[in-house]
């Protein structure tokens, strides 16, 4: 009997576990929102990032570099990328989840690879080929199918489009972050960059919470213990652990193959939402979800070929 997994199998397992943990994010958020009217996106983000910050500071310290070739501009771009990718994007996502289902949120957020390809085509002045255009049309068509079905049968009609707009803006912000990262990763190193960018995001989130909340400490103390535990789970199990796992997977498999395995994420989120939140998916919504995933996988493969 084989006792040890190969490097590829370990990398695949890490990617799968990371995808599962990331998929629980919307479930924890929706359950926390249901527990107290005082809990909103800003409060829950603060709990999440306060829990995660010590681990990312430790990651920075363990992977610190003494490279004098890093300029002030590099540091400025790193701070900007951290604020865009894991503070602003996450805040938009958390706030959007106050208005739409976890299933729809995950499908919209999953569009970010198509956004990076579209933006790259403008930045590098490269025309998209027919296959890429078809893949983008497929992913957005599938997403629209899910949205329209939710619009016709969802319980939150009044603010549905507000939630959709916020989550789509979150996907746009994360795509901008991805466009900034390749050069910064080369400068800082992947582990050091991740620790620094996420530490910046944590600090930005906590500053936002402090400025936006009249009595932040009193508010935290008044929250139900269950909400605090959800915040801790979001920080450690949904942020720190899957981030480390996906980086370990990338080291073993490469970014493209890890991303392919992670594409199971929307399906996992929907299954969890059906099981724990009582959400339902019509056959047309399942079709839209599958079209979305196929389109994103196709665009991710074409992105790899373009070398971006």
The reported pTM is: 0.91
- Judge whether 101 and 270 are in contact, CB under 8 Å: no
Q: What pLDDT is attached to residue 306?
A: 42
Task: Tally the C-alpha atoms within 13 A of residue 46's C-alpha that lie toward its C-beta.
Answer: 18
Query: 306 CB contacts (<8 Å, ≥6 apart)?
Result: 117, 120, 126
Instruction: Average pLDDT across each block of 10 residues of the chain; the chain has 308 residues. List them in order.
Output: 72 93 96 94 97 95 77 93 96 95 93 89 84 91 85 63 95 93 89 94 97 94 95 96 93 83 90 92 90 88 53
d(CA 139, CA 137): 6
Query: Cβ atoms within 10 A of the Cβ of 48, count?
Result: 27
Looking at residue 308, what is its pLDDT?
42
Q: What is the pLDDT of residue 127?
A: 84
Which residue, among 267, 273, 290, 266, has the nearest Cα to 142 in the 3D structure? 290
The position carrying tokens 């078809």 is: 134
């Amino acid at each position: 009997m084989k006792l040890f997994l190969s490097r590829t199998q370990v990398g695949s397992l890490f990617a799968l576990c990371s995808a599962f943990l990331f998929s629980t994010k919307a479930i924890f958020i929706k359950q926390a929102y249901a527990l107290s009217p005082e809990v909103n996106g800003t409060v829950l983000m603060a709990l999440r990032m306060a829990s995660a910050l010590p681990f990312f500071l430790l990651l920075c310290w363990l992977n610190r570099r003494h490279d004098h070739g890093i300029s002030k501009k590099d540091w400025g771009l790193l701070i900007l990328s951290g604020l865009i990718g894991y503070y602003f994007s996450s805040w938009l996502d958390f706030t959007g989840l106050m208005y739409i289902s976890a299933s729809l949120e995950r499908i919209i957020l999953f569009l970010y690879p198509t956004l990076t390809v579209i933006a790259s085509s403008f930045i590098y002045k490269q025309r998209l080929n027919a296959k890429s255009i078809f893949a983008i049309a497929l992913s957005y068509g599938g997403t629209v199918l899910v949205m329209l079905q939710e619009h016709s049968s969802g319980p939150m009609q009044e603010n549905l489009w507000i939630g959709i707009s916020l989550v789509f803006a979150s996907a746009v912000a994360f795509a901008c972050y991805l466009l900034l990262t390749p050069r910064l990763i080369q400068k800082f190193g992947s582990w050091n960059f991740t620790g620094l960018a996420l530490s910046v995001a944590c600090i930005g989130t906590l500053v936002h919470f402090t400025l936006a909340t009249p009595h932040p400490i009193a508010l935290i103390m008044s929250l139900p213990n269950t909400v605090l535990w959800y915040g801790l789970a979001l920080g450690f199990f949904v942020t720190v652990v899957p981030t480390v796992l996906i980086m370990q997977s990338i080291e073993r498999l490469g970014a493209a193959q890890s991303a392919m395995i992670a594409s199971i994420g929307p399906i996992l989120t929907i299954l969890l939402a059906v099981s724990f939140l009582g959400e339902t998916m019509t056959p047309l919504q399942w079709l839209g979800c599958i079209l979305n995933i196929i389109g994103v996988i196709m665009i991710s493969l074409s992105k790899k070929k373009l070398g971006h």
